[in-house]
Amino acid sequence: MELNQKSGRATVITVALGTFMASFDINAANVALPLIQSSFHTSIAVVEWVVVAYLLTLCATQLTLGRVSDLYGLKKVYVMGFIGFTFSSLLCGLSTNIGMLIVFRVIQALSASMLTSVGSAIVTNAVSPQNRGKALSMTAISVAIATCAGPSLGGLLASSFGWNSIFFINIPIGIIGTIFSIRIIKKDTTKSNTKFDPVGSLLIMLALVLILLPLDMVSKKAVNPVFIIGSLIAGVLLMVIFIAYERKCDHPILNLNLFKNRIFTASNFAATFFYMCQFMMVFLSPYYLQNQRLLSPSVAGLVMLPMSLGMMMTAPISGAISDRFDSRFISCAGLGILAVAILGFGTFHASTPLVLMLAGYAVFGIGSGFFHTPNNSAVMGSVPAESRGIAGATLGTMRNIGMVLGEAISAAILSSNISFATIKLSAQGIRGILLTQGAFSYAMRITCVVAACFAIVALVLSLVRGKVNKSELAKARESLETN
């Protein structure tokens, strides 16, 4: 990667390390949940909060921390994130009961939010515009590597050394990352006397939690529908109040003028629909591979490996191309490939050849890689330097919203259509394993069609967003300054 200087290259590596650590821990913790449940003699409903609390905290705090970084310094927030993640990982591993572990996971997620909310801004500031795509592709690669390594390495560590080891492994990585971030990331510039917005921060955090928590729980059994509906209504109302408050606030946590920039707005919403589509497939795949194909969890993970490998290979290519050509067309090409791969996946059945399955996951990963980096580069390149912290945090928040929505929608579509198809096929006299497989195949096709539609929506948003150029950036800076 040809960056302007060695310090720029080192900065990219440091940010990629932090991104890897935060992403790895999500995947590794999922694998270790059964061992954690057994160790603390608790229920599935309780142990799930080890993951749920982490994801909710990560999503709810990114906008706040992005604004904090713009006000008080990207490097300060990033270094604090590395220190906090390292220390909280130690506390997670030393937890003696499930309550302690959940509390320390919240602290860990808060630290991870510091890392992920400002990482893109630090990279963008460290490299020249013509190298931005290549630089940001390294963070995409780190996520792909974490996705590959999380389930396999996490499972190996947990089974060999206990569930604590998935947290202890973060300590040496965190120490190295802390040293690197202190020594390599350039010093923060002097900040203005703009005040922090505590009211707006509280409103957005409460709104996101009240909206995302019921969406995450909608696929769970025995969930009170009154709670889900009430929480969603309260969350939406708080979101409306937040927007109204931010419009009148002299020092808003989220400058809504950013959304007047078509590139910024369209690219962020494209990211949301992309992650909805991606996580619908991530949710669906284990059910297909383990229930339909009767593969073990470890083998199922290996079958899905080409998805991450495809993204790892294409992310730097798409980043380099986007540095020289209009990135929206590269993003659109990736989303088109993604939609085709998803529709192809919808035709899979219990006897689909293994080679075809592997090829399908590889094409899915290739499409993802062609979209991810150019879209991120468009977001970060569409705002002035003083707003890159909140821009990166907004992108991270939209990503997490897409992940939660994708899983919730996939679970709802899958369960409802399995029930419908089971009744329909039973009436035709189909029984036993053929009934189970037939009902699932029907539900999987419907789910894949919906996921492909989300990919098409993201494609349209990418196509109409426009091209990043100096005049757009000047307009964005002028609009922000007059607010």
pLDDT of residue 148: 62
Query: Is 368 a residue whose pLDDT tops 60?
Result: yes
Going by C-alpha positions, the residue among 317, 315, 24, 358 that lies closest to residue 169 is: 24
Read off the pLDDT of each residue in 48-55 and give the average, rounded to a whole number.
81
pLDDT of residue 147: 66
Give the tokens for residue 224. 């009170």
Between residues 151 and 102, the one the model is more confident about: 102
pTM of the full structure: 0.77
pLDDT of residue 223: 67
In angstroms, how far is CA 363 from the centroid of its own chain?
Answer: 20
pLDDT band at residue 356 using 50, 70 and 90 as cut-offs = very high
**Secondary-structure class of domain 1-191 per CATH:** mainly alpha
Distance (Å, whole) CA 481 – CA 52: 38
Distance (Å, whole) CA 283 – CA 238: 29
pLDDT of residue 478: 46
pLDDT band at residue 465 using 50, 70 and 90 as cut-offs = confident
Half-sphere exposure of 437 (CA within 13 A, CB side): 14
**Domain 257-483 is found in CATH 3.20.20.10:** no
Question: For residue range 203-229, what is the model confidence (pLDDT) as tens digits?
Answer: 888 988 888 888 777 656 666 778 888
In angstroms, how far is CA 16 from the centroid of its own chain?
Answer: 15
Q: Which range has highest mean pLDDT (188-192, 230-234, 385-389)?
A: 230-234
Domain boundaries, the chain: 1-191, 197-252, 257-483
Read off the pLDDT of each residue in 274-281 and give the average, rounded to a whole number.
87
Query: Which of 24-38, 96-110, 258-272, 420-434 comes out lowest in average pLDDT?
Result: 24-38
Question: For residue range 226-259, what is the model confidence (pLDDT) as tens digits?
Answer: 888 898 899 999 999 988 988 888 777 777 787 8
Question: For residue range 80-114, what is the model confidence (pLDDT) as tens digits?
Answer: 999 999 999 999 999 999 999 999 999 999 999 88
pLDDT band at residue 473 using 50, 70 and 90 as cut-offs = very low
